[in-house]
Structure 1
Amino acid sequence: MDFASLTPTRRSILLGAATSAMVAVSGLSPAIGQSPEADRREANKAVVRRLIESVQRDGDFTLFEQLFAPDYVDRTPFGDVPPNRDGTRAIYQGFRSAFPDWRAVIHAQIAEGDLVTTHKTYLGTHRGEFLGIAPTGRETRFEVIDIMRVRDGQITDHWGVGDAAGLLRQLGAGN
């Protein structure tokens, strides 16, 4: 059957029936609302976006205290900093000091259960000392994929993979 050759009325009836069948089979919620689980995933994604936009980019460390649970653990800590809130705060402050215009472009964010995965590119101009490297004035960019566990509106765990070697090459380390 050539779908395009059907009259508009027959095409509308077939599309409506197909859509109804897909909704019934998949168990999707009505379009007027989401499930509580979908709402929770969206809320968790919003927590991570607030971290990226308000803490990392804008330097709101009062918000940092609210977003990170007291028992937070960084499962892949950066360098020799402690794998807790103090260590993560120091990392963010170090990046902001070395790259005052530090910001992220979020490419994708996926939530499943209480985990939020974010693929992003960090951008910034090297204007302060970073890991013993004097300011170069160079524009930098590096890719990161983070997974954060969010419970009751707070980040409790972090796992991450980032192109630290690429960042250091951009700053002239190892050349």
Structure 2
Amino acid sequence: MARIRAAFPDWREEIEEVVFEADRIVVRYVSTGTQDGPFLDRPPSGAKVRVDGISIFRIADGRIAEQWCLIDDLAFFQQIRQGAG
């Protein structure tokens, strides 16, 4: 997360939906930010990115026992590649 925050200083994650079912919690969220710093092999582009994500948590004994996360990496890198254009 430190690399994301360094490259996207205005990075935000906004929860759009939370679903509780039995021992599962599902969180759907949107991440946004502007690439004002270098990220991996890409120089700062000024690109504004918006990426959808979902996290699923399994709860056991009142604690998070497992977590699975999925974000749209392809959309993320396409937006960086396109730049601020």
What RMSD, in angstroms, separates the aligned Cα atoms of the two structures?
1.9
Q: 1:152 to 1:101 in 2, by over 3 A?
A: farther
Match of 1:120 among 29, 47, 53: 29
Residue ranges of structure 1 left out of the alignment (5+ in a row): 1-91
Q: Secondary structure at the match of 2:81?
A: coil
Looking at secondary structure, tell me which structure has more strand per residue: 2
Q: 1:152 to 1:132 in 2, by over 3 A?
A: farther
TM-score by length of 1: 0.42
- The residue number in structure 2 matching 1:142 is 51
Looking at secondary structure, tell me which structure has more helix per residue: 1
User: Highest relative contact order (Cα 8 Å, sep 6+), 1 or 2?
Assistant: 2
Residue 164 of structure 1 deviates from its aligned partner by 0.5
Equivalenced residues, count: 82
Residue 156 of structure 1 deviates from its aligned partner by 3.2
Residue 152 of structure 1 deviates from its aligned partner by 5.4
Instruction: Indicate whether 1:129 and 2:29 are aligned.
Output: no
What are the equivalent positions in structure 2 for 1:12-23 lying under 5 Å apart?
A: none
Larger Rg: 1
TM-score by length of 2: 0.80
Q: What percentage of aligned pairs have identical amino acids? A: 33
- The residue number in structure 2 matching 1:69 is none
